[in-house]
Structure 1
Amino acid sequence: MSVQSAAADVDVDLKQLFASLARRWLRTVLVVLVVTGLAFALASLATRHYKAETQVEIVPRESVYTRPASNNSDPDKPILDEQGVATQVQIISSNEILKQVAQKLGLEKLPEFNDALDMSPLSRLLVLVGLKSDPMEIPTEERVLKKMHEKLNVYGVEKTRIIAIEFSSEDPKLAAAIPDGIAAAYIAGQGAAKLESNNAAADFLAPEIADLQRQVKDAEAKVAAYRAQSDLLMGGNNSVLATQQLSELSSELSKVRANRAAAEATADGVRKALQNGGSLDAVPEVLSSDLIQRLRERQVELRTNIADLSTTLLDNHPRIRALKSQLSDLDAQIRSEAQKVMKGLLMQAETAKARENQLVADVNTLKAASAQAGEQQVDLDALQRDAAAKRQQLELYLTNYREAASRQDRKYLPVDARIVSKASVPSEAYFPKIGPIVGAAFAASLLLMAVLTLLQELFSGRAMRPASGGRFEPIDEVAMPATARSEPSGRLEPLIPSEPANHAAETPWPPETISDPEARPDAEPVAETESVPEPEPVVAARPRAVLGEIDIEKAAEKLIASGAARAIFVSPEGDEAAASAILVAREVSDAGLRVLLLDLTASGAASRPMLDSGLFPGITDLLASQAQFSDVIHADLYSDCHVIPVGTADPVRAMRAADRLPIIMQSLTTAYDLVVVECGPADAQGISRLGGDTTEVFLSMLEPDDEVAQAAVKLIESGYPDLTLVTPIGHEPPGTPGRRSAA
């Protein structure tokens, strides 16, 4: 059938959720106190451990006055980088250094480092049964080293060249002595390594120096012999004599050629001046002649006299004619002297040319000699370089050997490390810290109990409520008996309420009243309603004619075939008709399905035949948050079916949380294949809160009377057209033994 789902989206009721913390405060306090006490006891009884730390700085210890000459160039250069510091950390924590410290302090005699000295009976028993390795099978030295490694922590301080050596022990004095011993052993080991390296260097250099001295002597002898054999005479500037002479002759040849060219050019200029009758004043060599200079002076004097006489005498005057004649003689003498100068220049050019030819011949001769000397010089330079390299190596070896021998004799080998902070004897144990341990245990246990309480409340469903805006109306509080200890004298009001008060006139049966008025002293008396007119006779035949009627087996087969998850039974005829729900639930359970019957009747008529006589927690206890699912689900005495009875909680308090009923139905549907709900004389509004997907609605009928007809019509008109009539007639009462007991 198609029924609106009654299980809407759900929200967490935070008020109800956190109220569970207050309800279970005593359990939480007890658990927290027990855990805190245990933590305090364990911390107080635990063995005290002390920790101390020694710091070693990796820094050059060589003085500027004793530092080797090869290291003086960059004295501020760091000796170790990050990887170098990490290497020193591994050296400090090496077995070799730890062995020295263990032997010096006698750690193999202490039970803290040697498990075999003081084994407890429990440890011996574990060794005997094979659950623990026998420490005697391990060498004593290895046992001690293993314990030391467990208690030792060596690390480099970040962004520094300081190494921290940290050690923990049960003895505070030993906790300080061991890291100091490790640091001292490390520095002593570094010094021993340097001494060994220095001695090895001195032992290596001594024979090497003797060999190099012999090689240097042989190399220099070869240089001298080759120089004498090749007749390579050295001139100035450490060059071969032939090369030096060639250079000098080349320079002289250049000068001779320049002089010859200058003489020829000057002679050619004088010749052209004499031939063309030009002035000889432009020729420097002519003017530089003393005779020509005196003739020029006399010539200037005559011209001055002629000019003076020309002012008073005519040109034909004897005196003027005599002066002009002398002037002509002077010009002839000057030209004659110029020719002599020209001849001297030509002679000078000839001499320079002869010298030039001689120099060219000498240069050519020296070129051949210089080429041969160059080849010989190459071989000589190779011999000299070899001798110089060996001598340089010999001098370096001699310097290093003197330094190594001096340090070896004086035993001065500073280690590039120093202890900057020695370990002090700790006065306070680093473990256990009683305060933090107890505080952490208290906080952790308190938090864990709070989380467990909240999770328990969530999983029980008591902290869930329908989401706001859902389709469920709040269920009205109904009058229910405060207890089910005795049979009621009359019919009680069902857990699922009937129509609201404004529809009371249409209900085919009168509202029930509380049989025991003292059970609810605060409840108002329920007014009796007026009698309802008799329905028309034609309606009495409607259920059988329209809906049909099936027995218990058919109803069970219908539920199994349809795969329904919920089956809602309405019993308008009272408690006797509730037998249909019990019989159908048992029939489906016998078919192999997981079935649960939920009793929502006021009198518990559906659950009493399935349980022993007595009081059992049920749905009211679950709604009132007084029980969990595991407390309210019981096994049927005569089948594999499970049942949730009405319960023993206050119905008024339970009805205040009735809006959680759809959530409970959702949880039960998830856990069981079929949930059978016996609602008693409920109406359509009441069962609408219990429906969901794949829900079947049944009307239990003993006799087809008017009461049943009116209830069927009402349900059909309210949206349940697929209503099914089922009758228990012909079956044994549900409380009759005869079925197998539940597992």
Structure 2
Amino acid sequence: MSVQSAAADVDVDLRQLFASLARNWLRILLFVLVVTGLAFAFASFATKHYKAQTQVEIAPRESVYTRPAGSNNDGDKPILDEQGVATQVQIISSNEILKQVARKLGLARLREFDETINMSPFSRVLILLGLKNDPMDVPADERVLKKMREKLNVFGVEKTRIIAIEFSSEDPELAAAIPDAVAAAYIAGQGVAKSESNTAAANFLAPEIADLSKQVRDAEAKVAAYRAQSDLLMGGNNATLATQQLAELSTELSRVRANRAAAEGTADNVRKALQNGGSLDSLPEVLSSDLIQRLRERQAELRATIADLSTTMLDNHPRVRAAKSQLADLDAQIRSEAQKIMKGMVMQAEAAKARESQLVSDVNQLKAASAQAGEQQVDLDALQRDAAAKRQQLELYLTNYREAASRQDRNYVPVDARIASPASVPSEPYFPKVGPIVGAAAAASLLLAAIFTLLRELFSGRAMRPAPGARFAPIDEVAMPATARQQPDAPEPSARLEPAAASGFADRGAEAQSSEAAVEPQMVAQPRPVAEPAPSVEAEPVAEVESVTEPEPAAEVQRPRSVLGEIDIEKAAEKLIASGAARAIFVSPEGDEAAASAILVAREVSDAGLRVLLLDLTASGAASRPMLDSGLFPGITDLLASQAQFSDVIHADLYSDCHVIPVGTADPVRAMRAADRLPIIMQSLTTAYDLVVVECGPADAQGISRLGGEATEVFLSMLEPDDEVTKAAVKLIESGYPDLTLVTPLGHEPPGTPGRRSAA
């Protein structure tokens, strides 16, 4: 068998859901008017509270003319950061300031701040009964502080250095006076703190200045004594005399060494030129000699004379020879003069060398003296630094002391805070606001009433409709029509379901699952998957069943048993337990007497320890009457009509632990309108119970299609094998139930007698 799950069978009918608001408009309106009236009464008679605010600016109050020296630019810097403003907020709301304000304004005498004043008799009774703490156990100051903190709100205005002080009170003048008093107490406290700090600084600096003055004198005396003892004479550039002389001698030594090197180099060059017979014209020292220059000029003249004579005379001519002889003498004189220059340079080099040796000796002596002076200078510098540091500290202390003493004498201590905006007496209360309270109450009550109405409509099931594509058979085909046809003379019970037209189901829709609590919490679990029906019936069994139409009475009587296999009540119960079936559908073509099979099987499975429920869908209640006392009980029709909850329609069997849902007492026509809820009810029951046994009476395959699901077994109850039973079995097999099982209650006690177990 295949049916759709309960979750896919129905949808929410939004039109039907919101139409409930129109149907219940009077109830909603009355609820809104009642709540609004109560809110208006509360707002009108509630105690009025007034709120006022004082703003304190945190800013430097020091004048540019009185600002201490060296802090002229401090006024451009913020004196407090975000954490600093938060600290001042805590100081303003401290107990000390609140106590000062309470004493100044006498708040302890007001009942608003001390509930022990004029205490009501009701409060005294509560205190005597122990239902309320006795306020007398708390000190009066703490009671007043507690009330003040409840009404006080101190906070820093965002992105500013302004602190707002808010206070609420039943008295508008008191609401304005208290924040002003708190701000004044805060500023006064800051002034006292600064004055105390200034006095403490002056008292500290006076003895410190006296000590520092003595220390400075001693340090400067030590500097002078050490300088005289070490004979440290200061030269130029703030250096000692030895160091300065060492520098000068080092410079002179470098110059002498350079001169000596130059003289030695010149003498060496002249010597090499004379020894190698080279020209002396390239030597700058030779060229710079006046005598050599004159000899060179005379030599040039003789060469010119020799050249002139050579044009007219031979080389052996006396005049030519005389000229050449004079030229040779000039060369000898030049070389002799060069040698003299060389000897002079050598002597100059030797003198420079001697001077260098002397300077080196002097430098070494000055180095030792300078090193000793340097060590002494280090000690002297240490003494001077100590004296300078003490002198600087003394000057700073003197400056601060003069400033502190002058402020103390003139009583001038500016506080870095001022009241930027004093509180004004409020003319209107901030609580209660009649308009907003009444409007909010009206809106909230309207919303709550609408939500309650929608939820009530949704949970009642009247706002549910079949999902698109869902296929359900009318409930009258599941239950009693066949019985009515088979037994026209049977008395019709009051809870019988009348057939309804198909158009009635299409127009009015199906009501959703009821919102009442299920039998057990597990009934809200996910629906089980639906098993697919067998595609076809085997050829051989069908052929054998169809053969029952032949005019052979004996064959017609035996055919159902031989083909399907007849089992008794115990075997049927064992089959259900072994297969783990969740649903067992019993069809009784022979009427009410055959319904005993469903009762006996349900009791048998229940005695085995499983949770079993029997659902009676017969027209006369044949399956539930033997299990209950005489009388009418709410049942499946009441559940479909939303007139009862699951807990109201489930009853205990008198003779076993099995539960039963009878036919019910509701109007069958109204119950048939919610026929599409039957698969949802079946899904919930199979979730709560291990096995749900359904007695359908003489129903056909279409009638029981909506009752099936996963793990469903179909049984055909049979008392006597006749044509009616055979035809019913053949129709069920041909309609997709090839696993049909015949079960007979013969040989068992009637279901109305006590079984092996009795219900508690």
TM-score class normalised by the smaller sequence? 0.7 to 0.9
Task: Show the counterpart of 1:722.
Answer: 741
CA distance in 1, matches of 2:637, 2:179: 71
Alignment of 1:103 with 2:122, yes or no, is no
Q: How does 1:335-734 map to 2 (within 5 A)?
A: 348-349=348-349, 351-457=351-457, 459-460=459-460, 468-470=468-470, 472-475=471-474, 495-498=479-482, 537-538=553-554, 541-542=557-558, 600-602=617-619, 619-625=636-642, 628-629=645-646, 643-649=661-667, 651=669, 653-670=670-687, 679-691=696-708, 693=711, 697=715, 699=717, 719=737, 721-726=740-745
Separation (CA, whole Å) in 1 of partners of 2:242 and 2:308: 73
1:34 matched residue in structure 2 = 34
Contact 1:309 1:320 in 2 (8 A): no
Equivalent pair of 1:10/1:465 in contact (CA under 8 Å): no
**Contact 1:636 1:643 (8 Å CA) reproduced:** no
Contact kept, 8 Å, 1:578 with 1:678, in 2: the verdict is yes
Asked whether the 8 Å contact 1:569–1:700 carries over to 2, the reply is: no
The residue type paired with residue 475 of structure 1 is P
Secondary structure of 1:79's counterpart equals: coil
CA RMSD of aligned residues (A): 5.4
Distance 1:604 1:722, change over 3 A: closer
* Contact preservation (8 Å) 1:267, 1:346: yes
Q: Secondary structure at the match of 1:431?
A: coil
Q: Is the 8 A contact 1:40 1:438 kept in 2?
A: yes
Q: Which residue of 2 aligns with 1:204?
A: 204
Note if contact 1:180-1:422 (Cα within 8 Å) is conserved in structure 2. Answer: yes
Rate the CA distance shift 1:228–1:698 in 2: closer, same or farther, 3 A. Answer: same
CA, structure 1 residues 523+673, in 2 after alignment: closer, same or farther (shift >3 Å)? closer
Query: Which residue number in structure 2 is paired with residue 113 of structure 1?
Result: 113
Counterpart-to-counterpart distance in 2, 1:520 and 1:357: 149
User: Which deviates more from structure 2 when the two are superposed, residues 632-641 or residues 368-377?
Assistant: 632-641
The one-letter amino acid paired with 1:147 is: K
Alpha-carbon distance, 1:138 to partner: 0.9
Deviations, residues 676-704 of structure 1 (Å, cap 9, x unaligned): 65545444432443355455646475x88
Deviation at 1:438, TM superposition (A): 3.9
The offset of 1:211, in angstroms, is 1.0
Q: What is aligned with 1:485?
A: none
In 2: Cα distance, 1:297 partner to 1:108 partner: 131
Q: 1:540 to 1:251 in 2, by over 3 A?
A: closer
Distance of 1:40 and 1:369 partners within structure 2: 107
Contact 2:599 2:751 in 1 (8 A): no
C-alpha separation between the residues in 1 aligned to 2:635 and 2:132?
A: 54
Kept in 2, the 8 Å contact 1:462–1:622? The answer is no
What's 2:523 paired with?
A: none
CA contact (8 A) 1:6 1:691 kept: no
- Note if contact 1:183-1:419 (Cα within 8 Å) is conserved in structure 2: yes
Distance 1:599 1:463, change over 3 A: farther
Partners of 2:624 and 2:134 lie apart in 1 by 65
* Letter of the structure 2 residue corresponding to residue 474 of structure 1: A
User: How is 1:5-44 mapped onto 2 (pairs within 5 angstroms)?
Assistant: 9-15=7-13, 17-18=17-18, 21=21, 24-44=24-44
- Alpha-carbon deviation of 1:38? 3.1
Whole-angstrom distance in 2 between the partners of 1:303 and 1:290: 19
Residue 132 in 1 paired to residue 132 in 2? yes
Q: Is the contact made by 1:151 and 1:167 (CA closer than 8 Å) also made in structure 2?
A: yes
Q: Which residue does 1:482 correspond to in 2?
A: none
Residue pair 2:600, 2:745 contacting (<8 A) in 1 also: no
| Corresponding residue number in structure 2 for 1:484 | none
Return the offset for 1:221.
0.8
Distance verdict in 2 for CA 1:275–1:33, change over 3 Å? same
Supply the AA of the counterpart residue of 2:208: E
How much does 1:224 deviate?
Answer: 1.1
Alignment check: 8 A CA contact 1:156 1:163 kept: yes
Count of residue correspondences: 701
Query: Aligned pair in 2 of structure 1 residues 587, 352: CA closer, same or farther (>3 Å)?
Result: closer
1:637 to 1:289, Cα distance in 2 relative to 1, 3 A: closer
The two structures have a TM-score, normalised by structure 1, of 0.75
Q: Distance in 1 between matches of 2:475 and 2:416?
A: 91
Tell me how far apart the structure 1 counterparts of residues 493 and 139 of structure 2 sit (CA, whole Å): 89
Three-state SS of the structure 2 residue aligned to 1:84 is helix
Residue by residue over 1:628-666, the C-alpha shift from the partner in whole angstroms, topping out at 9 and shown as x without a partner, is 546666789999965544434262x54343222232333
Cα distance, 1:218 vs structure 2: 0.8
Q: Deviations over 1:356-392 (max 9, x none)?
A: 4443443333333333322222222222222222222
1:486 alignment partner in structure 2: none
Report the CA distance shift for 1:370/1:25 in structure 2 as closer, same or farther (over 3 A).
Answer: same
Give the secondary-structure state (helix, strand or coil) at the position aligned to 1:215.
helix
Opposite residue 374 of structure 1, the aligned amino acid is: G
Alpha-carbon distance change, 699 to 34 in structure 1, aligned in 2, over 3 angstroms: farther
Whether contact under 8 Å (2:6, 2:683) holds in the other structure is no
Map of 2:91 onto structure 1: 91
Alignment partner, residue 171 of structure 2: 171
Match of 1:248 in 2: 248
Percent identical = 74
**Partner Cα separation in structure 1 for residue 318 and residue 4 of structure 2:** 172
**Residue 596 of structure 2 contacts residue 751 of structure 2 at CA under 8 Å; is this kept in 1?**
no
Closer/same/farther in 2, CA of residues 52 and 17 from structure 1, 3 Å limit: same
Q: Distance in 1 between matches of 2:247 and 2:493?
A: 151
Q: TM-score, structure 2 length as denominator?
A: 0.73
Q: Deviations over 1:77-125 (max 9, x none)?
A: 4433333333333223222222222222322222222222243333222
- SS in structure 1 opposite 2:56? strand
1:13 counterpart letter in structure 2 = D
CA contact under 8 A between 1:6 and 1:690: conserved in structure 2? no
C-alpha contact 1:578 1:700 (8 A) present in aligned 2: no
Q: Secondary structure at the match of 2:195?
A: helix
Q: 1:590 to 1:46 in 2, by over 3 A?
A: farther
1 CA distance for matches of 2:403 and 2:363? 56
Gaps of at least 5 residues in structure 2 are 503-548
**1:490: which partner in 2?**
none
Q: Deviations over 1:422-472 (max 9, x none)?
A: 4444444443444444444444444444444555555555555665555x4
Structure 1 gap segments, 5+ residues each: 479-493, 525-532
Q: 1:535 & 1:26 partners in 2: Cα distance?
A: 70
Alpha-carbon distance, 1:75 to partner:
5.7
Q: Secondary structure at the match of 1:56?
A: strand
Q: Distance in 2 between matches of 1:143 and 1:659?
A: 68
Change (3 A) 1:375 1:540: closer
C-alpha displacement of 1:137? 0.9
Q: Secondary structure at the match of 1:665?
A: helix
Give yes or no for contact 1:7–1:665 (8 Å, CA) kept in 2: no
1:136 is displaced (CA, Å) by: 1.1
**Is 1:154 aligned to 2:159, yes or no?**
no
Q: 1:235: Cα distance to partner?
A: 1.9
One-letter amino acid matched to 2:144: V
For residues 434 and 279 of structure 1, do their structure 2 counterparts lie closer, same or farther at Cα, with a shift above 3 Å needed?
same
| Contact 1:54/1:422 (<8 A) preserved | yes
> Residue 706 of structure 2: SS of its match in structure 1?
coil
Secondary structure at 1:474 match in 2: coil
Partner in structure 2 of residue 58 of structure 1:
58
Task: Report the more deviating stretch, 132-141 or 536-545.
Answer: 536-545
Q: State how far apart, in whole Å, the 1-side matches of 2:4 and 2:694 are.
A: 14
